[in-house]
Chain A
Amino acid sequence: MDAYLIAIAIITAIYVLLALGLNLQYGLTGIVNFGHVGFFCVGAYTTAILSEHGVPLVVSFPLAAVLAMAFAWPLGLVSIRLREDYFAIVSLGFSEVVRLVATSERWLTNGVQGIAGIPKLFAGWLTGPAQSYAVLGLLVAFNALAILAMLRIVRSPFGRMIEAIRDNEEAVKALGKDPAGFKIQVLVLGAALAGLAGAVYAHYIGYISPEQFLPLITFQIWMAIIMGGVGRISGALVGAGILMLFLEGSRFLRDVMPFISEVSMASVRLGVVGLALILFTMYRPQGLMGDFTRK
């Protein structure tokens, strides 16, 4: 496989990890999280800053997930009881606050210049293609673990309850069960996956700056799960794949449309993904892998 394809596979796998978390939150539980990128950002910066101070990856990786969870928990505590559209706005605001803090707290994050020279994964053991394969392997392992855990959850009474919450929160209350407690746990779990994704991303790219964590990332993940199939674990996998296909495939649009400048190309590519999303919601609203009726 040539380097370009491996690189795409790695980025796709990072998107899958993000999409799994969002699908757990929205697809299974009905939490409208518009701030997913915030947890991704926290994970990336956590491991980057710790690595700068010589903390080994085996420590900084789990801490990236833990810190993302530590941000999600209070966010859930204060705002998960809001109506879902309000929570959507609060979560979007949260991710922007995270990005602004990363921009302005220069002593910690080096501001807009970002953090460069983040150690590569498996540096010192592997180089070149072998290293990329190892990163991909690690991501596959993370995704596999996440999927196994989610399958376990979906088939458990906990999973039944979060789907009940998605379907009718008032009825859950009428049965004496508190939807908020379940939703906070789900928010925290999804954040852990996003934090982990952020950690892999930081060490893979080697350089992070605030502008890599725009709300656009959140909405790309949303597009992925909508195109793949909301509430289905396979939907996250397939959706992330389609998203990459459009994002990367549209690169080659330049070959057929040479009159478009490099700068406008970014917008054109986004337009292509947007168009795909519109077509999907028109002709296959349940996503490629089917609706969220069954897991």
Chain B
Amino acid sequence: MTLAIQGLTKAYGGLHVVNDVRFEVPSGALVGVIGPNGAGKSTLFSLITGFLAADAGDVSFEGRSLGRASPMERARAGMVRTFQVPREFSHLTVRENLLAAAPGQSGERLIDTFFRPGRVKAEEAAIAREAAETIDFLRLAKVADVPAGRLSGGQKKLVELGRALMTGARMILLDEPFAGVNPVLIEELSVRIRELNGRGIGFLIIEHDLAALNKLVSTLHVMDRGVLIASGAPAEVLGNPRVRDAYLGGAAA
């Protein structure tokens, strides 16, 4: 089991935003999380990745309990998230955004920058090739050298995904990766995500575009008001009356 979510709970005041959520993501799986607005999906991601401290529950990744590990430690352990509202490095170009994400760069140490420029340069060249591939892969070549702050919302989402890929993570948590991305590219992205998944990267994806998500994932988890209300194969889950109620209730409110 790659990722095990064990009773995560988070309350603000008296309101349980995430309430005893538990499920598992097998290694190399493609899993979706859905639910109406405010269901607690993004909060769940923050709990999993350590950006928020859980009131109760734990997360284990590749057999190791993460307890109170920091977001940095969790990312370095191989589990990386993206953000619903893109957090691009706005003054860096798209390419630089991706380069910054590459792990273990000796050039990020001042000593090496000044005293081992050869090594830094060689590493940088290798990372640059990887970044160029990722940029092509995400169809960002046209804006590769534009400051990321000037991109459209959809393009920024692609930059977030690109950075996550550059980290070499084995488990990637995507918070609404398709929001603002054009339908043609969504199709393509889905193909590429499946391809990456074929290479062993697990994905946990929050998405409101159910049509696109259903084609992608093998398992869906549905949240409503902090609680996990259904889990299973997409067709089965979407036929569940409780799930329909949750969505309609959300729309009526």
Bound complex: CA of A176 vs CA of B81, how far in Å?
10
Bound complex: CA of A231 vs CA of B91, how far in Å?
11
Q: A185 near B110 (CB under 8 angstroms)? A: yes
> What 0/1 pattern do residues 163 to 187 of A give for CB contact below 8 A with B?
1101110111111111000100100
B99 — which chain A residues lie within 8 A by C-beta?
Answer: 157, 160
Known: A157-B107, A161-B100. A175 touches B88 (CB 8 A): no
Q: Chain B's nearest CB lies how many Å from the CB of A201?
A: 26
Q: A174 near B83 (CB under 8 angstroms)? A: yes
> What 0/1 pattern do residues 79 to 120 of B give for CB contact below 8 A with A?
011110001111110001101110101011110011000001
Q: A158 near B107 (CB under 8 angstroms)? A: yes
B103 — which chain A residues lie within 8 A by C-beta?
Answer: 175-176
Q: B90 near A167 (CB under 8 angstroms)? A: yes
Q: B75 near A176 (CB under 8 angstroms)? A: yes
Chain B: CB-nearest residue to A294:
B91
Q: A175 near B147 (CB under 8 angstroms)? A: no
Chain B: CB-nearest residue to A166:
B91
Bound complex: CA of A149 vs CA of B114, how far in Å?
9
Bound complex: CA of A189 vs CA of B100, how far in Å?
21
Q: A292 near B80 (CB under 8 angstroms)? A: no
Is B247's beta carbon under 8 Å from chain A? no
> Most A CB atoms within 10 A — which of B88, B101, B124?
B101
Is A152's beta carbon under 8 Å from chain B? yes
Q: B113 near A163 (CB under 8 angstroms)? A: no
Q: A164 near B110 (CB under 8 angstroms)? A: no
Is A267's beta carbon under 8 Å from chain B? no
Q: A164 near B92 (CB under 8 angstroms)? A: yes
Q: Chain B's nearest CB lies how many Å from the CB of A177?
A: 7
A157 — which chain B residues lie within 8 A by C-beta?
Answer: 99-100, 105, 107-108, 113, 120, 124
Is B155's beta carbon under 8 Å from chain A? no
Is B167's beta carbon under 8 Å from chain A? yes
A173 — which chain B residues lie within 8 A by C-beta?
Answer: 51, 70-72, 75
Bound complex: CA of A69 vs CA of B172, how far in Å?
40
> What 0/1 pattern do residues 153 to 173 of B give for CB contact below 8 A with A?
000000000010001000000
Is A153's beta carbon under 8 Å from chain B? yes
Known: A157-B108, A158-B109. A178 touches B91 (CB 8 A): no
Is B134's beta carbon under 8 Å from chain A? no
Q: B101 near A175 (CB under 8 angstroms)? A: yes
Q: A177 near B72 (CB under 8 angstroms)? A: yes
Q: Chain B's nearest CB lies how many Å from the CB of A273?
A: 28
Chain B: CB-nearest residue to A174:
B81
Q: B96 near A171 (CB under 8 angstroms)? A: no
Bound complex: CA of A74 vs CA of B73, how far in Å?
23
Q: Which of A158, A175, A293 contacts B113 (CB 8 A)?
A: A158
Chain A positions 123-172 with a Cβ under 8 Å from a chain B Cβ: 149, 152-153, 156-158, 160-161, 163-164, 166-168, 170-172
Bound complex: CA of A237 vs CA of B103, how far in Å?
35
Known: A157-B108, A157-B113. A176 touches B167 (CB 8 A): yes
Q: Which of B73, B91, B110 contacts A293 (CB 8 A)?
A: B91
B81 — which chain A residues lie within 8 A by C-beta?
Answer: 174
Q: Which of B83, B114, B147 contacts A152 (CB 8 A)?
A: B114
> Most A CB atoms within 10 A — which of B74, B87, B163?
B87
> Most A CB atoms within 10 A — which of B80, B89, B90?
B89
A292 — which chain B residues lie within 8 A by C-beta?
Answer: 91
> Most B CB atoms within 10 A — which of A158, A174, A182?
A174
Q: Which of A168, A176, A178, A189 contacts B88 (CB 8 A)?
A: A168
Bound complex: CA of A231 vs CA of B87, how far in Å?
20
B120 — which chain A residues lie within 8 A by C-beta?
Answer: 156-157
Q: Chain B's nearest CB lies how many Å from the CB of A15?
A: 25
Bound complex: CA of A157 vs CA of B163, how far in Å?
15
Bound complex: CA of A153 vs CA of B112, how far in Å?
11
The 17 listed contacts between A and B (C-beta, < 8 Å) are A157-B120, A163-B89, A163-B91, A163-B92, A164-B96, A168-B88, A170-B83, A171-B83, A171-B87, A173-B70, A173-B72, A174-B49, A174-B71, A174-B80, A175-B167, A178-B70, A294-B91
Which B residues lie at the A interface, using CB under 8 A? 49, 51, 70-76, 80-83, 87-92, 96-97, 99-101, 103, 105, 107-110, 113-114, 120, 124, 147, 149, 163, 167
* 4 closest residue pairs by CB, A with B: A176-B75, A157-B107, A171-B87, A167-B89
